[in-house]
Structure 1
Amino acid sequence: MAEPPTKMARREQSSQPKEEAPSDVSVIVQFQSSNGDDTGPQLDIPHNVTPMQLEVLLNGLLNNDEKLPYSFYIEEQELLGELGTHLGAHKISVEKALRIVYQPQAVFRVRPVARCTASIPGHSEAVLSVNFSPDGSRLASGSGDTTVRFWDLNTQLPKHECKGHKNWVLVVAWSPDGRYVASGDMNGLIHLWDPVGGKMVGSCSGHGKWITSMAWQPAHKALPSQKFVSGSKDNTIKVWDAQTRRCLLSLSNHSQLVTAVKWGGEGLIYSASRDCTISAWDDTDGKLVRVFKGHGHWVNTLALSSEYVLRTGAYDHTGKAPQDPEAAQQKAAERYAEATAGKPERLVSGSDDFTLCLYEPSTGKNPIARMTGHVQLINQVVFSPDGRYILSASFDKSVKLWDGLKGTFLATLRGHVGPVYQVAWSADSRMFASGSKDSTIKVWDLHSRKLKVDLPGHSDEVFTVDWSPDGSTVASGGKDRVLKLWRH
């Protein structure tokens, strides 16, 4: 039996400071925009004020006709509960005016998916890739059965079965205007498809081994979409013209297979490789601009802070975009400018060395943060649509949440009992879905950092998950050969 504490130990325990709300009844605060500009005068507010009450106050100060949603940060920590409790927990002094930085959230809200509305058979081998169109109205999938399939989201039935590949289809990628879908296979062949009629419009051959990743030129750079980039197991990166099907640039400095490619909005193409490096290339002439050497093992995955707007181009969250290509390109440029808001584009990488590295590629080659905490390799990293958060999915059965600007650790989300293969954000950046080897999809709430909905239904490993840009549907596929659609 344990001895009772001595008088001295009891006295020391009682003298330990407790984390509790300040006893002061009010706090002087100063609202500040994310650019550092003061908003309104300093205010004397009760210490038990909540983020919802701060929102009402801020909307009044900004004279917003419509009440807009905001999130609030104090010394880079998001305020999630009562102000006083937050200050006590983080030991924040209130001797001088407290700066509360506010950031607007998406005005629209995505409803959590709660049930499987369709289990669509069709593929005769594992589903390896599912991808929604930029407007969220259509879906393409690639499979080990060598086919690409298009699915009708209204009737929730198969629309086109596209044959042409002779080996597993590993990647499918929509152009940001929705005119083309590119698919790459294990033989190194790329086919281009018309998603409306389901017909093949051409093939690009040049890679000697399988295609690992593809990305299209951003819509604010060119519309209609014409160019895309592919990375391959043959260690090379190639830029293609979708209309002529010719290879425009062949880029090579990697000594091992290329695992991921991204086409950024600042005129750079990024490639990650098993040679532990990431390269940045000029997208006009193919010159090597920078090499990033932050990892000690294979680099598996890349993500860009502007990825959501690069993917959706001119389409907003309702799936609408201007019909005229010039107007659409202008709209895509406006959306990109709004998403980056004068900040450099950020790049995050995930590796077999269990770490993530966060870069600002246009400003330097050293990581601005090295993020540690996973205890097994990282499968995928994804920025939230608003660029403020990063998710990492790992073989250690967890998903980790990080600050998208500074790379600081925010939370570990545990619930899966097998490796987590992929994660996908909702368009409003308030929720995300994860797919795992344990055959389940799980939907998580960003605000509470907790599991919102558990979605069993697959009978085997879930390899791929995507959340439609309009927020209405999550699609998943895996080893059981079934494509599932999940809705509210």
Structure 2
Amino acid sequence: MASLTAPPPQAGTKRPRSSAQEHQVSAPAPDFGADSDDDVEDVARGKGGGEGGMPSSMIVQFATLEGENKGPQIDIPLGSTVLQMEELMNQLLENKDKVPYTFYVNDAEVMETLEQTVSELAVSTEAVLRVSYQPLAVFRVRPVTRCTSTMPGHTEAVLHVNYSPDGTMLASGGGDMTVRFWDVQTSLPRFTCRGHRHHVLCTAWAPNGKRFASADRKGEIRLWDPSKGVQQGQPLSAHKQWVTSLAWEPLHRNSAGERLASSSKDALIKIWNTRTGRCEVTLSGHADSVEKIIWGGEGLLYSASRDRTIKVWNVEGEGRKLGILVRTLVGHGHRVNTLALSCEAALRTGPFGKEECALKALSKFTPEEAQAVALERYNLARGGEPERLVSGSDDFTLFLWNPADGKKPLARLTGHQQPVNHLAFSPDGRRFASASFDKKVKVWDGRTGTFLATLNGHVSAVYQVAWSADSRLLVSASKDSTVKLWEMVALKRAKATLPGHADEVYALDWSPDGSAVASGSKDRTIKIWAH
């Protein structure tokens, strides 16, 4: 049963309930078609009735997340759904084109009806209710519904699939010791890159798309030119044991895009200058294998280890300032398997937003232009707030952190019954999803850690999850050989089950423009799923 333990709530609120009732997620209330002015007026006038002794309507003041009031105070029914409040906001703001919105009360997202949220938070119905709103991406990603391509080639299990930052190429790595590059438009192989002497365990695109890094069980890192399919320079003899994770420096921090971090089972993290092949600094401090690293957008690197800790490192500056341990985050009772960062989608795609993916080739960006656009996109994703980090562990728990501002977690999240092995923030940072060996995917509020839903449907361990570019859809890959598609409006049942693989699905990625999902399997194939 999922529950949440958080710091003491503000006055006038209470903790989310941890009973079974807290986790019953019903389908959203039907939209009663507020498409005309009269219908919207009915919503605003307070038609409808409350339950359990609550009033039927309430005075509401809409405001931006920054606190700016929008429109007059309005008497609306507590039974109003999110869709009905969207209609009302579009009327109030006089939007020519309908814009989707998300609504919050005391930082808690309104998931179904206003009444449900008010009741759960025990908010007074006698005072004016302040409802914050946030516009969502106007473009909508269409649900993937069918397999459009099956791509054979690997002779052993496919362990990784990664779309390039601009979405024009797909890279894969696997147990056959090869890295392969695929043409996204034709689903045909472009290059097969050989050189690794053991399984390719981790891969990563540079955020400018000009380089691709892969690392293997022998501890070697190889750099590839994806436009030619050739190795760049000599392999980096990085670690004495296998490499567990790779992370490039974000493009908005350095336009050259040359620095790469690697972590290993040898408990070390190394920062490389990939142009010279030189290790700039070795970060030592963990007492056991480092399982995951993320290079953040503020000059910090985050590492998760089997020693049950997360460490925050300063990876900018020169001399002794480079590689300083900033703080250690403690709380997990077992090894920490995975991390996710709230701005990770913007960091991964660098200067390439949806429009850039569609309209600009990589060659049209100068390094300075790319860095400026990447910084703009990062700041937009951050939204004036510090980046948030979530960690998942073998102790079945998750912790939500503000890693740049203290050692105390924002929330401790429980509910999984087996180890948590993968996490992913939605591109808008409002939610994150956790995948576990307990066959479940759970969805949480990205700002508070509040539990939102358990997604049931897989019949075996869930290995990975991936979000659509508009944050409305989620896919999950499982040991049960299926990929499942979930719609965040429903937050309950799978919108579609995508069968086709003949064995466990290890790898999953959604293209930056939202047009396709790639999955890699133990059956040695890659499948492309589209609408």
TM-score over 0.5 for the pair: yes
Q: Does 1:308 align with 2:345?
A: yes
2:506 paired residue number: 463
1:144 paired residue number: 175
155-164 or 68-77: bigger deviation: 68-77
2:282 to 246, 250, 256: 250
Identity among equivalent positions (%) equals 55
Q: 1:345 and 1:204, CA in 2 relative to 1: closer, same or farther beyond 3 A?
A: same
83-92 or 343-352: bigger deviation: 83-92
Q: What amino acid is aligned across from residue 242 of structure 2 in structure 1? A: W
**Secondary structure of the residue that 1:254 maps to in structure 2?**
coil
Deviation (angstroms), 1:62: 3.2
Deviation (angstroms), 1:121: 0.8
Q: 1:47 and 1:304, CA in 2 relative to 1: closer, same or farther beyond 3 A?
A: closer
Q: What amino acid is aligned across from residue 151 of structure 2 in structure 1? A: I
**Secondary structure of the residue that 1:41 maps to in structure 2?**
coil
**Secondary structure of the residue that 1:397 maps to in structure 2?**
coil
1:437 to 469, 479, 503: 479
Q: What amino acid is aligned across from residue 241 of structure 1 in structure 2? A: N
Q: What amino acid is aligned across from residue 481 of structure 1 in structure 2? A: R
2:325 paired residue number: 288
2:268 paired residue number: 236
1:401 paired residue number: 443
Deviation (angstroms), 1:77: 3.7
2:456 paired residue number: 414
Alignment of 1:67-86 (within 5 A): 67-84=98-115
Deviation (angstroms), 1:304: 0.6
368-377 or 92-101: bigger deviation: 92-101
**Secondary structure of the residue that 2:85 maps to in structure 1?**
helix
2:306 paired residue number: 274
Equivalent residues of 1:382, 1:390 under 8 A apart: yes
Q: What amino acid is aligned across from residue 348 of structure 2 in structure 1? A: R
Q: What amino acid is aligned across from residue 422 of structure 1 in structure 2? A: Q
Deviation (angstroms), 1:24: 4.7
**Secondary structure of the residue that 1:329 maps to in structure 2?**
helix
Deviations 1:337-369 (A, max 9, x none): 111111111111100000001110111012111
Q: TM-score by structure 2 length? A: 0.86
Deviation (angstroms), 1:84: 4.7
Equivalent residues of 2:308, 2:330 under 8 A apart: yes
Q: What is the CA–CA distance in structure 2 between the aligned matches of 1:453 and 1:145, rounded to whole Å?
A: 31
Deviation (angstroms), 1:47: 4.3
Alignment of 1:339-418 (within 5 A): 339-418=381-460
Q: What amino acid is aligned across from residue 275 of structure 1 in structure 2? A: D
Aligned residues: 471
Equivalent residues of 1:220, 1:333 under 8 A apart: yes
Equivalent residues of 2:343, 2:381 under 8 A apart: yes
Q: What amino acid is aligned across from residue 326 of structure 1 in structure 2? A: E
Q: Does 1:105 align with 2:147?
A: no
Q: What is the CA–CA distance in structure 2 between the aligned matches of 1:265 and 1:106, rounded to whole Å?
A: 22
Q: Does 1:173 align with 2:188?
A: no
Deviation (angstroms), 1:136: 1.4
Q: What is the CA–CA distance in structure 2 between the aligned matches of 1:408 and 1:25, rounded to whole Å?
A: 26
Deviation (angstroms), 1:61: 3.1
Q: What is the CA–CA distance in structure 2 between the aligned matches of 1:225 and 1:217, rounded to whole Å?
A: 7
Q: What is the CA–CA distance in structure 1 between the aligned matches of 2:162 and 2:172, rounded to whole Å?
A: 6
**Secondary structure of the residue that 1:155 maps to in structure 2?**
coil
Q: 1:305 and 1:23, CA in 2 relative to 1: closer, same or farther beyond 3 A?
A: closer
Q: What amino acid is aligned across from residue 310 of structure 2 in structure 1? A: I
Q: Does 1:485 align with 2:517?
A: no
Q: What is the CA–CA distance in structure 2 between the aligned matches of 1:70 and 1:142, rounded to whole Å?
A: 39
Q: What is the CA–CA distance in structure 1 between the aligned matches of 2:414 and 2:480, rounded to whole Å?
A: 24
Q: What is the CA–CA distance in structure 1 between the aligned matches of 2:486 and 2:53, rounded to whole Å?
A: 32
1:11 paired residue number: none
2:60 to 13, 26, 29: 29
Q: 1:22 and 1:467, CA in 2 relative to 1: closer, same or farther beyond 3 A?
A: farther
Q: 1:288 and 1:454, CA in 2 relative to 1: closer, same or farther beyond 3 A?
A: same
Where in structure 2 are there 5+ consecutive unaligned residues? 1-48, 317-321
Q: 1:19 and 1:410, CA in 2 relative to 1: closer, same or farther beyond 3 A?
A: farther
Deviations 1:59-86 (A, max 9, x none): 3433444432211123444334444566
Alignment of 1:130-209 (within 5 A): 130-202=161-233, 203-209=235-241
Q: What is the CA–CA distance in structure 2 between the aligned matches of 1:205 and 1:113, rounded to whole Å?
A: 40
Q: TM-score by structure 1 length? A: 0.93
Q: 1:143 and 1:50, CA in 2 relative to 1: closer, same or farther beyond 3 A?
A: same
Q: What is the CA–CA distance in structure 2 between the aligned matches of 1:169 and 1:25, rounded to whole Å?
A: 60
Q: 1:271 and 1:90, CA in 2 relative to 1: closer, same or farther beyond 3 A?
A: closer
Q: What is the CA–CA distance in structure 2 between the aligned matches of 1:89 and 1:348, rounded to whole Å?
A: 24
Deviations 1:350-389 (A, max 9, x none): 0000000111011101211111111110111111111111
Q: What is the CA–CA distance in structure 1 between the aligned matches of 2:398 and 2:248, rounded to whole Å?
A: 24
**Secondary structure of the residue that 2:334 maps to in structure 1?**
coil
Q: What is the CA–CA distance in structure 1 between the aligned matches of 2:261 and 2:503, rounded to whole Å?
A: 32
**Secondary structure of the residue that 2:192 maps to in structure 1?**
strand
Q: 1:289 and 1:88, CA in 2 relative to 1: closer, same or farther beyond 3 A?
A: closer
Q: What amino acid is aligned across from residue 346 of structure 1 in structure 2? A: R
Q: What is the CA–CA distance in structure 1 between the aligned matches of 2:111 and 2:414, rounded to whole Å?
A: 24
Deviations 1:99-156 (A, max 9, x none): 2111111111100100011111100000011111011121000000000001111111
2:336 paired residue number: 299
Q: What amino acid is aligned across from residue 193 of structure 2 in structure 1? A: C
Q: What is the CA–CA distance in structure 1 between the aligned matches of 2:175 and 2:265, rounded to whole Å?
A: 17
Q: What is the CA–CA distance in structure 2 between the aligned matches of 1:303 and 1:89, rounded to whole Å?
A: 28
Q: What is the CA–CA distance in structure 1 between the aligned matches of 2:268 and 2:56, rounded to whole Å?
A: 63
Q: What is the CA–CA distance in structure 1 between the aligned matches of 2:175 and 2:410, rounded to whole Å?
A: 39
1:114 to 145, 148, 162: 145
Q: What is the CA–CA distance in structure 1 between the aligned matches of 2:314 and 2:473, rounded to whole Å?
A: 34
Q: What is the CA–CA distance in structure 1 between the aligned matches of 2:401 and 2:122, rounded to whole Å?
A: 30
1:473 to 487, 491, 516: 516
2:34 paired residue number: none
1:5 paired residue number: none
79-88 or 421-430: bigger deviation: 79-88
Q: 1:90 and 1:252, CA in 2 relative to 1: closer, same or farther beyond 3 A?
A: closer
2:160 paired residue number: 129
